[in-house]
Amino acid sequence: MKFYKYLYIGDTVTNPQKVKWKLKHHAGVQVYVITAATSADQLEIFHSAYLKQRYYRYHPPVIVGIASDYGEAVQIIMKITQECLENTGNCNLKEYLKRKAKEQL
C-alpha cells in the first residue's frame, strides 16, 4: 500500500498506525479508504475488504484518507474539496493533493 504523505484520518478512527499496518499487510480491518482514482475521476471510496483482492497487491492505490464509515469518508472528501477550493479556486483534487505534497517538503 502507498499512503499519502499528509494522510487524512477520520475523527472516529482509533489507532491509525495499527490501521495502516493492517492495510499494508492485507489483514482484516473494517474501515473505508479514500484513494486517488486511476481513471479521470478525482477520488474514490472503497471498503478495505476490496484491497485484499490480488489485483491490489500488484497495483496498490495511493490512499489519501482513512475513515471508520462511509459517511465519515464523504466528510473527509468534503474537507479536501473545501481546502482545494480555498487554495486554488477550482476543484481539481488530485492535482491539489500532488501540489500540496510537493510544496510542504
User: How confident is the model over 52-94, as pLDDT tens digits?
Assistant: 888 988 888 999 999 999 999 999 999 999 999 999 889 899 9
pTM: 0.88
Task: Tell me the average pLDDT across 21-36.
Answer: 91
Give the residue from 28, 34, 64, 63 showing the smallest Cα distance to 49.
Answer: 28
CA gap 77, 44 in Å, rounded: 9
DSSP state of 31: -
Task: Tell me the average pLDDT across 95-102.
Answer: 90
